């Protein structure tokens, strides 16, 4: 490209150059990377003291597009995008279309096209996805994603081989109280149509033990019962909370800043690839030397992978209106 093909740069002495220059600069962009419709609506508005000024009407101009939206996040590890969207569509009898959009720090935005679907998602919970509690918050124009620090959360448990004589509200209440505060049972447990286990929702705190085995006693004689969990929350190593991982701990800004400055890699919505173990290097004998019985010489130090150094990435993810009105906790 010749020097004459470049547009002149604007100067303080010629304020009329910039509008004439813009069409020439736009031709340098690849059309697949720039939205022409949106870009044509952009204008230069001088700022005052690095502050963009808006009226209330101007600030709310884009709000109607997101009025039927909920912002949510999962307790524990962030789920894969594709899997979460698939589970939501299977769990909810949606009438219209639904878009799942990713946000910063593990938040998701669910955008509904039908008011009926929006109300169902907001009022029909609490919801569990992959056995983990999923917390929803209503989107508003001044909404800022924030993880709430609830003192307790609901958790589904399974009490295996429950004696039929104890398959009563009182019996299940006493047994479930060994883990947490009983809140509800699922439909199959209430109907007694599946007797493999009783599925109970209990309220737990960060100090709850979550045992694998509980006991019931009859006239001083004790009997064990196994307990299974759809998912077990882990305490944050920084503050002990079960509401967030250590990388998102609000009480450790240093760790949070270190994670924020890490280079952006692959989307966490994609499953990682398996990393093959390192190959052993076997040197070949010199060609000039005739060897009747070849011997193999190994390097003095061979990296041998172990489970901690080279773990095999997982390829799958594990499987009442509550005490606060906003945000809401969802179970299903």
Tokens of 287: 């060609």
In CATH terms, 63-149+323-330 corresponds, of 3.20.20.70, 1.10.3720.10, 3.30.70.330, 3.40.50.300, to: 3.30.70.330
Give Dmax (Cα) for the chain.
Answer: 99
Catalogue the E-assigned strands of the chain: 69-74, 98-102, 108-112, 127-129, 132-138, 152-160, 181-185, 197-205, 213-218, 221-229, 328-330
SS3 call for 197: strand
Residue 184 burial (C-beta neighbours within 10 Å; 0-12, 13-18, 19+): middle
Distance between terminal CA atoms of the chain?
Answer: 62
Tokens of 242: 């079960």
Are the C-beta atoms of 231 and 201 separated by less than 8 Å?
Answer: no
Are the C-beta atoms of 201 and 155 separated by less than 8 Å?
Answer: yes
Does an H or E element contain 22, and which? helix 17-26
pLDDT in tens, the chain (332 residues): 555 555 555 544 444 444 544 555 656 665 556 666 777 778 888 888 889 888 999 889 999 999 999 999 988 778 889 989 999 989 899 999 999 999 988 899 999 999 999 999 998 878 888 888 898 999 999 888 888 777 888 889 999 999 999 999 999 999 999 999 999 999 999 999 999 999 999 998 888 899 999 999 999 999 999 999 988 888 787 777 777 777 777 776 555 555 555 544 444 444 455 555 555 555 555 554 444 444 444 444 434 344 333 333 332 223 333 323 334 443 43
Domain boundaries, the chain: 14-59, 63-149+323-330, 152-229
Give, as one character, the DSSP assignment of residue 320.
Answer: -
SS3 call for 25: helix
Query: Closest Cα partner for 22 from 32, 36, 12?
Result: 36
């Amino acid at each position: 490209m010749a020097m004459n093909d470049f547009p002149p740069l604007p100067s303080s002495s010629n304020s009329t150059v910039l509008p004439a220059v813009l069409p020439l600069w736009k031709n340098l962009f690849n059309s697949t990377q720039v939205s022409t419709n949106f870009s044509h609506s952009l204008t230069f508005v001088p700022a005052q003291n690095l502050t963009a000024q808006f009226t209330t009407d101007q600030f709310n101009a884009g709000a109607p597009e997101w009025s039927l939206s909920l912002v949510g996040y999962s307790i524990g590890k962030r789920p894969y995008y594709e899997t979460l969207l698939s589970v939501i569509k299977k769990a909810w009898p949606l009438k219209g279309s639904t878009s799942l959009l990713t946000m910063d720090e593990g938040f998701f935005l669910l955008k509904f096209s039908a008011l009926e679907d929006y109300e169902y998602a907001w009022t029909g919970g609490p919801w569990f996805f992959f056995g983990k509690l999923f917390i929803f918050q209503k989107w508003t124009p001044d909404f800022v994603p924030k993880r709430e620090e609830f003192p307790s959360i609901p958790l589904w448990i399974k009490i295996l081989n429950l004696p039929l004589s104890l398959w009563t509200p009182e019996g299940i209440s006493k047994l479930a109280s060994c883990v947490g505060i009983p809140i509800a049972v699922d439909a199959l447990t209430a109907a007694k149509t599946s007797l493999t286990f009783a599925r109970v929702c209990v309220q737990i705190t960060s100090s709850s033990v979550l045992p694998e085995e509980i006991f019931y006693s009859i006239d001083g004689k004790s009997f064990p019962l196994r307990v299974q969990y759809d998912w077990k929350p882990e305490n944050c190593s920084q503050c002990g909370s079960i509401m967030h991982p250590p990388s998102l701990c609000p009480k450790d800004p240093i760790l949070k800043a270190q994670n924020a400055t890490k280079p952006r890699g692959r989307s966490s919505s994609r499953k990682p690839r398996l990393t093959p173990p390192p190959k052993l290097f076997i040197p070949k004998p010199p060609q000039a030397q005739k060897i009747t019985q070849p011997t193999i010489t190994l390097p003095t130090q061979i990296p041998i992978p172990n489970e901690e150094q080279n773990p095999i990435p997982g390829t799958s993810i594990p499987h009442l209106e509550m005490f606060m009105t906003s945000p809401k906790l969802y179970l299903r």
